[in-house]
Amino acid sequence: MRTSRRFFSAAAFALTAALAAVVCPPAADHAQAAQTGLRGADPSVLRVGDTYVAVQSADGGIVVRQASSTDGLAAAPARKVWSDDAGHGEVWAPEIVRDGGRYYIYFSAGRGPDHRMYVISSDSPDSGYGAETKLALPEDKWAIDGALFTFEGQRWFVWSGWAGDTNVEQNLYVARMSSPTTPTGDRHLISQPRESWERVVGDPFINEGPEPIRDPNGQLHVVYSANGSWSEQYCLGDLRLKAGGDPGSVWDWYKSNGCLFGSNGSTMMPGWDPTLNVNGPGHHSFVLADGDINTSPPAGPRFPLMFHAVPKGTPYAWENRYWYTGSFAWWGDTTYTRANSPGAASDTGWSLKFFE
């Protein structure tokens, strides 16, 4: 398998640097990963101008923090923007995006099999949100970790859910959206946890935390968390949509042949190394301008990332998770393969390297 970096001429690199200045924060945010003071899971962070906006579930609701750097988010005041006054139950993994100048926070709420996706919105990142609206996702099944994105002019929603009404495995689905709050058409399965490296931990087997991004060729990726979050086997894998592919067609997606970011060497994709300082890195956030995949960074330098993990030497448990700052870079000429495909058995394109 080829995992070599794509090299550029001096002129091309200069252009890359110029583009990076548009979509990326200052170089200080590309430094080595650091444990923040935020205990918890499932970071969601975007950048609006020079301000970083983070959302987190806390205190029976959702809080928003703003700071001038990702490192500064932990010390920023948490403003509560929504409370679970209706008593939905557990509030999980809020995700903030900006669409048409308006902020939308998507989150899952419920108890056990009742978890469904909800959305609130405001013109301001940390105030003015109204009551929650339940997303009418097709088939109305258990759903968590949803995110809105626009690809080639069409809005989509991606989430983790059950095929039926029992907790057998968590799959990834997409559906078209006619607006930031209105799904339309069918749900489309794009990934199931069926590879050996994503079935190390089960009951259930897990694909969750999907985060979309566009690569330097303009192809769509969904980077997701595999294996149970209750285990240090938690890791990030990648789905890459083939050039010209349909996001709603499962056979147009190609999956990485192992974890791209994880702490166990036996499950890593060949050419990717396990983490040195943390265990079970997962449920990440690409820190994009406006949270918009159309501002995804070009090839070249590293770009900011946030993820949750447990520091090595600490017992692996949900209560020991912290938010971390890290970085990622595009990695060219990488082949993903799959068996039993009605189409091409392999696809070569951009992948990602993640750094602590």
Q: Give kind and range of the element (H or E) at residue 22.
A: helix 10-23
Q: Which residues pair with 175 in a beta bridge?
A: 157
Q: Which residues pair with 252 in a beta bridge?
A: none
The 8-class DSSP code of residue 16 comes to H
pLDDT for the residue 155: 98
Q: Give kind and range of the element (H or E) at residue 10.
A: helix 10-23
Q: How far apart are CA 234 and CA 259, in angstroms?
A: 9
Q: Which of 57, 79, 90 is nearest to 125 (CA)?
A: 79
Q: Which of 215, 193, 196, 213 is nearest to 204 (CA)?
A: 193
Domains and CATH numbers, the chain: 36-355 (2.115.10.20)
One-letter amino acid at 348 equals T
Q: How far apart are CA 223 and CA 210, in angstroms?
A: 6
Phi, psi angle pair for 102, to nearest 5° = -110, 145
- The residue ranges of the chain whose pLDDT is under 50 are 1-31
Q: Which residues pair with 48 in a beta bridge?
A: 51
How deeply is 150 buried, as exposed, middle or buried, from its count of CB atoms within 10 A (0-12, 13-18, 19+)? middle
In this prediction the pTM is: 0.91
What separation in angstroms does the CA of 200 have from each of 109, 163, 232, 286? 27, 21, 10, 26
pLDDT for the residue 31: 43
Q: How far apart are CA 355 and CA 198, in angstroms?
A: 21
pLDDT for the residue 33: 59
pLDDT for the residue 341: 74
Q: Which of 348, 349, 298 is nearest to 328 (CA)?
A: 298
Q: Which of 302, 304, 322, 303 is nearest to 312 (CA)?
A: 322
Q: What pLDDT digit, counting tens, does each position of 34-65 carry?
A: 999 999 999 999 999 999 999 999 999 999 99
Q: What is the DSSP string of 111-128?
A: SGGG-EEEEEEESBTTB-
C-alpha neighbours within 13 Å on the C-beta side of residue 99: 25
